């Protein structure tokens, strides 16, 4: 659609833009008669232009009525070439800034950003948790609680506010006293160290002569080595808010069911969001562009957010293909910037 021969004449472009804007606003097929009232041409000329647009695969008649709606391909052209993005209003900017308070924990900031996206757009807001970097995350405190069998709950406090819980499987059962002493030893030895430094220190400890290690150190090494192992890093889930908004926005009941299943299973959406980690700026998937059947009647608008200058995660909005793109795009963009700034300030 970028070649010269495919460029619209000004009149054709204007009519196409009007059709899409009417459709996005009203959600109904747009008749040629309605478009003719906005331009100084006859209804016959408008119908001829509509036939040409339909032949190009940019619009379609959904049923026997004379009205037409844009296809996914047409919406893509509109967003890429014809959209007039509206800056986010001052009131919404102030509201976002006040809610995304750097004093909040990472979990609270992610939840708040998701809620804000849903509240402002009236669609579903999605935010991935920031990807943990062991080189940057510092251990503040660890506590071990005995569970049944050879299982232990490790409670980690990192970066001042964040709490992580990990269930580990140990080589043997430990009593509460042993676990308490092991936690005290690790807190004394590794407090303030990054998770990478903790792992490195544990490797050095394990290389020491086992015969020279007392029972306390052996217990601490066994429990800690499993707590801080590479495969114990928490997966990077996402937080979603406003799923109920999609019930009214989407007309196909099966589509709604499929989306709710996707939200519950998470893997399909995480895969889609992770695709956005490697591209700068706003990313937009319209309908079938996502490559997943369950999103064929939806659009997803995303943006990366950065912490301390590094890409940390993705946030976005999912809703029907008939959404106000010119309004939603700046909301996603500004929220990503503000979330990144708040997380950076919270870690300072």
Question: Please, which residues bridge with residue 98 across strands?
Answer: none
Residue labelled with tokens 């995304």? 100
Report the C-alpha gap between 69 and 19 in whole angstroms.
Answer: 7
pTM for this structure?
0.69
Q: In sequence order, what are the residues at sequence separation of 6 or more whose Cβ sits closer than 8 angstroms to the Cβ of residue 247? A: 256
Report the C-alpha gap between 115 and 158 in whole angstroms.
Answer: 25
Question: Please, which residues bridge with residue 169 across strands?
Answer: 151
Report the C-alpha gap between 329 and 193 in whole angstroms.
Answer: 40
Burial class (CB in 10 A: 0-12, 13-18, 19+), 274: middle
Report the alpha-carbon angle 78-326-286, nearest 5.
55
Which DSSP string corresponds to 125-150?
A: EEEEPPPP-TTT-BEEEEEEEE-STT
Which DSSP string corresponds to 65-99?
A: SS-BEE-HHHHHHIIIII--PPPPPHHHHHHHHHH
- With DSSP H G I counted as helix, E B as strand and the rest as coil, what are the percentages for the chain, rounded to 5? 50, 20, 30
**For residue 308, which phi and psi values (nearest 5 degrees)?**
55, 40
Per-residue pLDDT of the chain (348 residues; tens, 9 = 90+): 444 444 457 888 889 999 999 999 888 888 888 888 877 777 788 888 999 999 999 999 887 666 899 999 999 999 999 988 888 889 989 999 999 999 998 889 999 999 999 999 999 999 998 876 555 678 888 899 988 888 889 888 887 667 778 888 888 888 888 888 888 888 988 888 887 788 778 777 766 655 555 666 677 777 877 777 754 544 558 888 998 888 878 877 888 888 888 777 777 787 788 888 888 889 999 988 888 777 888 999 999 999 988 888 999 999 999 999 999 999 999 999 999 999 998 876
């Amino acid at each position: 659609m970028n070649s010269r021969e495919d460029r619209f004449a000004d009149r054709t472009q204007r009519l196409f833009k009007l059709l899409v804007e009417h459709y996005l606003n009203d959600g109904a097929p747009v008749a040629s008669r309605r478009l003719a009232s906005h331009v100084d041409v006859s209804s016959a000329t408008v119908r001829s232009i509509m036939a040409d647009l339909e032949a190009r695969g940019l619009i379609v008649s959904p049923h026997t009525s004379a009205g037409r709606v844009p296809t996914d391909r047409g919406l893509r052209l509109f967003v890429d070439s014809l959209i007039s993005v509206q800056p986010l209003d001052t009131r919404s900017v102030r509201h976002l800034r006040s809610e995304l308070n750097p004093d909040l924990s990472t979990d609270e900031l992610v939840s708040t950003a998701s809620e804000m996206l849903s509240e402002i757009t009236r669609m579903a807001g999605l935010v991935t948790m920031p990807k943990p970097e062991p080189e940057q995350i510092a251990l503040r405190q660890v506590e071990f609680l005995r569970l049944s069998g050879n299982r232990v709950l490790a409670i980690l406090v990192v970066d001042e506010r964040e709490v992580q819980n990990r269930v580990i499987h140990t080589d043997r059962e430990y009593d509460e006293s042993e676990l308490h002493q092991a936690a005290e030893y690790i807190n004394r030895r590794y407090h303030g160290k990054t998770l990478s430094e903790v792992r490195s220190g544990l490797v050095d400890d394990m290389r020491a002569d086992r015969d020279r290690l007392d029972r306390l150190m052996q217990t601490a090494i066994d429990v800690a080595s499993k707590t801080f192992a590479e495969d114990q890093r928490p997966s990077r889930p996402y937080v979603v808010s406003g799923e109920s908004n999609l019930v009214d926005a989407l007309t196909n009941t099966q589509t709604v069911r499929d989306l709710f299943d996707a939200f519950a299973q998470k893997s399909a959406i995480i895969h889609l969001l992770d695709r956005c980690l490697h591209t700068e700026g706003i990313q937009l998937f319209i309908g079938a562009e996502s490559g997943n059947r369950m999103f064929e009647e939806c659009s997803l608008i995303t943006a990366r957010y950065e912490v301390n200058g590094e890409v940390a995660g993705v946030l976005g909005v999912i809703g029907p293909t008939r959404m106000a793109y010119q309004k939603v795009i700046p909301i996603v963009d500004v929220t990503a910037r503000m979330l990144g700034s708040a997380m950076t300030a919270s870690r300072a």
